[in-house]
Amino acid sequence: MARDRSPIVKQSRREGVALHPKAHKILARKSGIPGEHAHGRQSKPSMYATQLREKQKVRRMYGLLEKQFAKLMNEATRKPGLSGENLLRFLELRLDNAVYRAGFATSRRQARQLVSHGHFELNGRRVDIPSIRLKAGDVITVRPKSAKSGYFTAIDDIYGNTSQPPLSWLKSDIKKLKIEVSGEPKREEAEAGINEQLIVEYYSR
């Protein structure tokens, strides 16, 4: 499976958002794009540059390659409704995102690794594809064999009090190692700080 292997902290600085917990402290100390000199006047970015940065930020936030992201945007424009909101809904309904949102990982990157290594079952069947799109009624559980591992036996102590805020479309039970999809995510439940209209405009050029 193709992945973006560039350093996560460098990505976080470039996009101005913590893409991994360890990036929070770095962002607090440093700002600006890596490699840029702090001195000198910076010109105002063009509209194209602003649209590009927003697209890159969201793409990296959810851990997609450019081709994957463009394909998802293309599908979002063909669906009824607002293209930007469709895109965010598709991103939120990814299996790896649900694992992260349910509090089973500290980052989407970690959640993607857990899924890729086959630690989860979807509706009773083992899965290892992070991009699977979930739907209402789906049930995600940790595989019995994986549930005995040190990571999952200690997950309640590690993440029990630090899970994501409750979501209307996702029910998480860390003690039972179970996640239920009860609906579709609302726009306001997507990751904060996203301007999806800029992304729509970028692909509409």
pLDDT digits (tens, 9 = 90+) for 99-120: 999 999 999 999 999 999 999 9
pLDDT digits (tens, 9 = 90+) for 33-69: 666 554 555 678 999 999 999 999 999 999 999 999 9
Is residue 48 within a helix (H) or strand (E), and if so which, with residue range?
Answer: helix 47-61
Looking at residue 1, its pLDDT comes to 47
- Do residues 108 and 100 touch, judged by C-beta distance below 8 A? yes
Residue 183: name the closest of 78, 108, 93, 123 by CA: 93
Looking at residue 86, its pLDDT comes to 98
Looking at residue 23, its pLDDT comes to 47
> Exposed, middle or buried, 15 (CB in 10 Å: 0-12/13-18/19+)?
buried
- Do residues 184 and 89 touch, judged by C-beta distance below 8 A? yes
Close Cβ partners of 48 (under 8 Å, ≥ 6 residues apart): 202, 205
For each of the domains in the chain, give its residue range(s) and CATH number, in order of start.
Answer: 8-33+46-91+194-203 (1.10.1050.10), 95-184 (3.10.290.10)
Looking at residue 165, its pLDDT comes to 72
Looking at residue 56, its pLDDT comes to 98
Q: Give the angle subtended at the CA of 189 by the CAs of 77 and 197, to the nearest 5°.
A: 35
Q: For residue 86, give the 3-state DSSP assignment.
A: helix
pLDDT below 50 — which residues of the chain?
1, 23, 38
Looking at residue 41, its pLDDT comes to 56
Place of tokens 């949102």: 101
Looking at residue 68, its pLDDT comes to 98
